[in-house]
A = this chain, B = another copy of it.
Amino acid sequence: MVTIYDIAARANVSAMTVSRVINNTGRISEKTRAKVKRVMEELNYVPNQMARSLVLQQTHLLFLLIADITNPFYTTLARGAEDAARKLGFRLLFGNSDENGDKEQEYMDTLLKMRVDGLLVAPAGDASLPHLETLRRHQVPFVLLDREVPGVESDIVLGDSKEGARQLVRHLSENGHRRIAMINGALTVSSARQRFEGYKEALKLNDLPYSEEYVLETSFGPRADLSEIDRWLGRMDPLPTAIVAGNNVLAVEVIRTLNARGLRVPEDISLVCFDDLASYAEIDPFVTVISQQAYQFGYLGMQMLIDRIRNPEEAGPWKKIVLPSELIVRRSVKAVR
């Protein structure tokens, strides 16, 4: 491996001079600077970030940990975070926890050991509390995205999940639906909880009955096994006339399961969900959704993170951004009666 000493020897200067050329610090004569640069190129020198971070005590690395890399909500969010990081002069790396607390834990360990300068996280759930406390204890700045974690105070970007659920239920109610079921992610995820709350409130508000039988708590992540959903559908009697899905992944899984049972959306049963279904949905705008500004989640979150990193002493109060969501009516709801 080529080091500054190799450069120094070849250029007849000290290692210190080479270091100064690399970092553009101190005053160097144009002549030596040019010579050093030439030698660096000749030798294909690449600075050793490890060594540098070790002495500087910072890595200039930011990290985004998302919960599901195959979910377009998160990949769009990732684009936003990346764009903001670039614009502000930082490099960003990604990780994928797969909605899995253990994998998240592994990433946290890695990041802590790597001494990343800051972290953007969509936490896997409430069980992320200890991981986040560890980050805090080690003074790693972080911003939560999309999900809060009880017991954790931090900067955060959220969607208005409760209001979104209310809008979905109201829309169904306005279309004459009275038996409205909900399939949801795990209630250990704050967004799932909020959506569930909003669902129940809206039922009450619209004088609609609530029944436990009509609610299935499962997981936001993609699963190969759809039998749980199928059993739920089999259990409900009578079938609901509409289903609210807690996110886009669940919506797709429900539709597939319904189709397998010979039921069609919206002819036999209506369906709405949270989060848009990627640009691919634009081919055939079909599912009525609560659309969230995924890109903004990432962009604004990254801005907050970098702000904290750049001005650690200011230490203002935690900021909370709640992004509004929008009901987009398409064709997955049939008016009944």
Residues of A within 8 A of B (CB): 1, 44, 46-51, 53-54, 57, 59, 61, 69-70, 72, 75-76, 78-79, 82, 86, 91, 93-96, 98, 103, 106, 109-110, 112-115, 134, 137-138, 222, 248-249, 252, 255-256, 277-284, 286-287
Contacts and interface: CB of A to CB of B under 8 A. Distances in A.
Contacts of A115: 48-50
A159 to B, nearest CB: 19
Nearest to A106: B91
Residue in A47, A70, A76, A277 whose Cβ sees the most chain B Cβ within 10 Å: A70
Contacts of A50: 50-51, 53-54, 59, 114-115
Contacts of A281: 280
B91 A94 contact: no
Contact of A49 (B1, B82, B113, B137): B113
Contacts of A252: 279-280, 282-283
Contacts of A94: 69, 93-96
Contact of A54 (B54, B76, B96, B286): B54
Contacts of A134: 44
Nearest to A49: B113
Q: List the number of copies, as a whole number.
A: 2
6 contacts: A1-B57, A48-B54, A50-B50, A54-B54, A252-B280, A278-B278
Contact of A113 (B48, B95, B103, B113): B48
Contacts of A69: 69, 75, 78-79, 94
B110 A91 contact: yes
A98 B72 CA distance: 15
Nearest to A95: B93
A96 B298 CA distance: 15
Contacts of A248: 280
Contacts of A61: 110, 114
Contacts of A106: 91
Contact of A286 (B70, B109, B283): B283
A110 B62 CA distance: 12
Contacts of A79: 69-70, 96
A71 to B, nearest CB: 9
A113 B103 CA distance: 26
A46 B108 CA distance: 11
B91 A44 contact: no
Contacts of A283: 252, 255-256, 277, 286-287
